[in-house]
Amino acid sequence: MSVPFFDLTRQYEAIGDDIDGAVADVLTSQQCIGGPHVKALEERLAERVGCAHAVGVSSGTDALLVSLMALDIGPGDEVITTPFTFFSPVGSILRLGARPVFVDIRPDTFNLDAEALREAITSDTRAIVPVHLFGHPCDMTAIMEVAESKDIAIVEDMAQAIDARHAGRPVGSFGDTGCVSFFPTKNLGAAGDGGMVFCDDDGLARRIRRLCRHGAQPKYHHLEAGGNFRLDAIQAAILGVKLEHLQQWNERRREHAEFYHRVFADRESIVTPRVRSENQSVFNQYTVRVEGRDAVQAGLKKRNIGSNIYYPEPLHTQPALNEERGHGAFPEAERACREVLSLPIFPELSPDERRRVCDAVLEVTSR
């Protein structure tokens, strides 16, 4: 019997009637752009994240892009981020003509090393994009201290981390903006692309909203060039239904993580993810480091156990950077790319499936 890495059909089976009802509501009204579902979702999530404003956008990537645009990031500016994540922050920085500057990750959390951050700051540093990778919060206390002392903006990439907390406070509420993704496999996932920007500052929120509508204010009067970065009403309606279940889904993810953690604790060839005591993770991924990773993954595949590699290549060596920053520059990120393996952790994973994942992992890893 196989165990999938992820299976969204189970979620739809459980709440499909409510989702269908919400979609039908949008279709009946034909208010497909903006409207009550988008507004309600923005209000509910702003409150949940603890920010005055939330702006629904077309994807997590566009949340990052429009945040950086609203902060006037452009040519000549440096933006610090992590070399170990999805390409999205780096792509957004590059699109604005700015330069991504990398700071290596901490080996225990996979997140940007706040201690090393200070050394990467120059007179051209305008923003930092910390990424709460795999649902684990970054050390926002330390990052905010550095940013505030140097008057540098923070754009939190919380694509994988809605509802995660650092020092009792939701991620996304620390920086100038917080950027979430509703990509279907995220903890709160749409039936397509979507995202949201959170922020407290009234002026910044107004500008973000305007940039999402081609910089127009009022309609057809364009103060600047923006884009079409709006969240669809159908997606907002679906997300509104799913939001009711998010807390319970995140609890299920944490239960799976605890189970894995207990089973793998004595296995020296496996390093389980560490959640620091001041943090609460939402485990978008359960990512271990393992000796002989590729052979382990092949072994799991042979036993029909799903797994994935997030991420196989660091960002500083990507050809898109068009600049040689070469292998060896960020050793911890490079080592992570060689060693990481993500195991099934979706909420609907059954106890029996979870046990089978563990048995297979123990079978294919050395002691």
Ligand X SMILES: Cc1ncc(COP(=O)(O)O)c(C=O)c1O
Residues near ligand X, by CB under 6 A: 59-61, 85-86, 88, 131, 157, 159-160, 181, 183, 193, 195
The minimum distance between CB 72 and ligand X, in angstroms, equals 21
The minimum distance between CB 110 and ligand X, in angstroms, equals 11
Our CB check for ligand X shows the closer of 8 and 358 to be 8
DSSP label at residue 195: E
Our CB check for ligand X shows the closer of 61 and 365 to be 61
Which DSSP helix (H) or strand (E) runs through 61? helix 60-70
The minimum distance between CB 310 and ligand X, in angstroms, equals 8
Nearest Cα neighbor of 231 from 186, 284, 177, 190 is 190
CB 60 within 8 A of CB 256: no
Our CB check for ligand X shows the closer of 212 and 361 to be 212
**Residue 22 CB partners (closer than 8 Å, separation 6+):** 37, 237, 238, 240, 241
Q: Which residue is nearest to ligand X (CB)?
A: 60
The minimum distance between CB 181 and ligand X, in angstroms, equals 3
Our CB check for ligand X shows the closer of 183 and 259 to be 183
Our CB check for ligand X shows the closer of 86 and 346 to be 86
Our CB check for ligand X shows the closer of 232 and 353 to be 232
CB 118 within 8 A of CB 101: no
CB 153 within 8 A of CB 127: yes
Long-range CB pairs of 174-179, under 8 A, 24+ apart, other chains included: 174/140, 174/143, 174/144, 175/130, 175/140, 175/144, 176/67, 176/71, 176/201, 176/204, 177/63, 177/67, 177/70, 177/71, 177/204, 177/208, 178/49, 178/51, 179/60, 179/63, 179/64, 179/67, 179/155
The minimum distance between CB 157 and ligand X, in angstroms, equals 5
The minimum distance between CB 153 and ligand X, in angstroms, equals 17
Our CB check for ligand X shows the closer of 114 and 296 to be 114
Q: How many helices (H) and strands (E) does the chain have?
A: 12, 13
CB 79 within 8 A of CB 128: yes
Distance CA 188, CA 154 (A): 23
The minimum distance between CB 65 and ligand X, in angstroms, equals 9
